[in-house]
Amino acid sequence: MKKIFNIRIAFLTAIILAAAFSRLIHHIPNFSPIMAIALFGAAYFENKFEAIIIPLIAMFLSDIILGFHTTMPAVYISFVLGSVIGFILLKKVSIGKIIAASLLGSIIFFILTNFAVWLMTDYYTSDLAGLAKCYTLAIPFFRNTVLGDLLYCGALFGGFALFEKYIPFLNYSTKRL
């Protein structure tokens, strides 16, 4: 069983790395696999530490290439909170729970990252009017975030469900679509 377990972990890691590096492909702003990676890792890695650290490392590696910015802590905090959402909502994977977790993750990402933009940059005034303007101007990006999170969750969870169906040794988890 240990050998199968290691193959499964390697396969899950490869999927997460591929998703993280898909961020390098030109895309519309905020249409990315960030939250889907966090949710997927939380749903399928049996070990919670691996469920957080492997996706975080994949994100960090892609960020080395993409570059870092002042609001990165908010992105990574959102990512870890996405893992927590996955631990809570995706104990047993279902389409409805994936959609709910994805939408909740999108909302958390929107709230935290835009608050960080308001707090840590000089794009907006440091008052409530500036905060309101920051969130208002970010609404189109929120739409992209929601669409990206849903699409990538569909691709990751749906793709892995197919792999589990057709590659029997990957299918030993009790978590099912």
- Summarize pLDDT for 85-108 with one digit per residue, the tens: 999 999 899 999 999 999 999 999
Summarize the confidence of residues 110-137 as an average pLDDT: 96
- Provide the pLDDT confidence category of residue 6 given band limits of 50, 70 and 90: confident
**Strand ranges in 111-164 using DSSP code E only, listed in sequence order:** none
pTM confidence score? 0.89
> What is the phi-psi region of residue 67: left when phi exceeds 0, alpha when psi lies from -120 to 50, beta otherwise?
left
Greater confidence (83 vs 10) lies with: 83
Summarize the confidence of residues 39-47 as an average pLDDT: 93
Greater confidence (7 vs 113) lies with: 113
Question: Domain extents for the chain?
Answer: 2-170
For residue 91, give the 3-state DSSP assignment: coil
Output the pLDDT for position 176. 45
Greater confidence (21 vs 172) lies with: 21
Helices (H) and strands (E) in the chain, counts: 7, 0
* pLDDT at position 28 over 60: yes
Cα 103 from chain centre: 11
Q: Domain spanning 2-170: which CATH class is it, in words?
A: mainly alpha
Output the pLDDT for position 100. 97
Q: Identify the helix (H) or strand (E) that includes residue 87.
A: helix 72-89
Output the pLDDT for position 1. 46
Output the pLDDT for position 8. 83
**Average model confidence (pLDDT) across the chain:** 90
Provide the greatest CA pair distance for the chain. Answer: 58
- Provide the pLDDT confidence category of residue 132 given band limits of 50, 70 and 90: very high
* pLDDT at position 174 over 90: no
Summarize the confidence of residues 2-22 as an average pLDDT: 82
Output the pLDDT for position 173. 53
Output the pLDDT for position 172. 63
Burial of 145 (0-12, 13-18, 19+ CB in 10 A): buried
